[in-house]
Chain A
Amino acid sequence: MGEMTVRNSILAGFASLAAIGLVATPVLAQRDPAYAAARSAGKVGEQADGYLGIVGAADPALQRLVDDINIKRRAVYAEKAKENNATLEAYALTAGCQAVARTTPGEKYRAPDGSWQTRTDAAPIRDPRCP
């Protein structure tokens, strides 16, 4: 019993070290290949609300990919909104302004009227409140 407790606390120690390591490591990871491919193929695009959207017909795999990214984005927005004394929606909209602006020619984005647009060399159509 005593040995078990010691082992458990050692394991817990490793687990917390791992957790600290994960938090402290700067996240500079790149896009998942499936996400990068869906973006270049125009299957997904940036929406003005700060979330990723499916442009055409949704298949289950694509829906999962988009949901997964949007859940992660929402968590980041919530944390950052709190840090900045802003609402989640305001932070998400601000990020959306940037995410749409950062689309590269050929990628899809959603204009304020809800229509999907293909980004060209020209500036994208964005919410009038965007900086």
Chain B
Amino acid sequence: MLAGVAILSASLGGCINIAAPDEPIVIELNINIRQEVIYRLAEDAANTIDENADIF
């Protein structure tokens, strides 16, 4: 697989084209929510989903 990619890149003269996306990438989620908070809440949130299976 890697060798194939290497051969392919070599055959294309080593050019890598990266096209910019047409639309801006929108990140809506609040970046101020820290990972440790999510880890702390994870177990409770899993139980909440189990207990409210009708709306999840």
**Residues on A facing B (Cβ under 8 Å):** 26-32, 48-49, 69, 72-73, 76-77, 80, 83-84, 86-87, 89-91, 93-95, 97-99, 102, 112-114, 127, 129-131
Known pairs A29-B54, A98-B45, A127-B29 / 11 extra A-B pairs, C-beta < 8 Å: A27-B52, A31-B55, A32-B54, A76-B55, A90-B41, A94-B37, A94-B38, A95-B48, A99-B56, A114-B25, A129-B35
**A32-B54, A130-B38, A131-B38 as given contacts; A93 in contact with B29, CB under 8 Å:** yes
Q: Is the CB of B33 within 8 A of A129?
A: yes
Nearest-CB residue, chain A, relative to B47? A80
Name the distance in Å between A52's Cβ and chain B's nearest Cβ: 8
Contact of B33 among A69, A76, A83, A87 (CB under 8 A): A87
User: Please, which residues of chain A bring their CB within 8 A of the CB of B56?
Assistant: 73, 99, 102
Nearest-CB residue, chain B, relative to A86? B41
Interface residues of B in 16-56 (CB under 8 A from A): 25-30, 33-35, 37-42, 44-46, 48-49, 51-56
Name the distance in Å between B24's Cβ and chain A's nearest Cβ: 10
Contact of A90 among B28, B33, B46, B55 (CB under 8 A): B33
**A86-B41, A90-B41 as given contacts; A49 in contact with B28, CB under 8 Å:** yes
Name the distance in Å between B34's Cβ and chain A's nearest Cβ: 8
Within the assembled complex, what's the spacing in Å between the Cα atoms of A130 and B45? Answer: 12
**A31-B53, A93-B38, A99-B56 as given contacts; A76 in contact with B29, CB under 8 Å:** no
